Structure 1
Amino acid sequence: IDKNEVERGMVIAKPGSVHPHTKFKGQVYVLKKEEGGRHTPFFNGYRPQFYFRTTDVTGVIKLPEGTEMVMPGDNIVMEIELIAPIAMEEGLRFAIREGGRTVGAGVVTEIIE
């Protein structure tokens, strides 16, 4: 592989060892206002940026059945669908960002597709 073929955010791995995915479940902690997070709750369909390693991609959040909103300070398992595939595996940590600030942190708990 030539150096000019690699860009920030790319993953170099042995062929077949890492697979790109778009849909997963994640255990997420939503930062409180005092921690620099959101001041208001978010709802189903919220579309923040997800940061994995050194790359970021927009994703859509699907809350668990019966959960209407997520408040700052909450811990929750949610389903996330990214608009572009990312190389990931269970246990991979990610940050959730909005408007240039981190509003949550999570870990991939289950790959869906």
Structure 2
Amino acid sequence: MTEVVLQIVRGDEASGQTIERYNVPFKGGMSLLDAVFWVREHEDQSLSVRYSCRSANACKECMAITDGKPGYLCSIRAMKNTEYLIEPMKARKWIKDLVTELD
């Protein structure tokens, strides 16, 4: 099976950070946000991520650090048989998992 592997920072200020690994089936054209949604739907419903796709004037809430570079999870295309490290933004107050305070 062709997969995308996500290593996602989990936790919060009180409990600290851990990194959880998820194997996600690859689908052509999927974004990393699509892969995170797959994890929430099939592996762990407690995974927290901020997004507002398809909401008027509320786009670009899914910012995270992927492999050391900041970007929007919805605009980063997943590549088959590739592993990604996804972390919350470091310059913002960390709330839980990939969720940080908005500016």
TM-score by length of 1: 0.29
**Larger-gyration structure (1/2):** 1
TM-score by length of 2: 0.31
**Higher fraction of strand:** 1
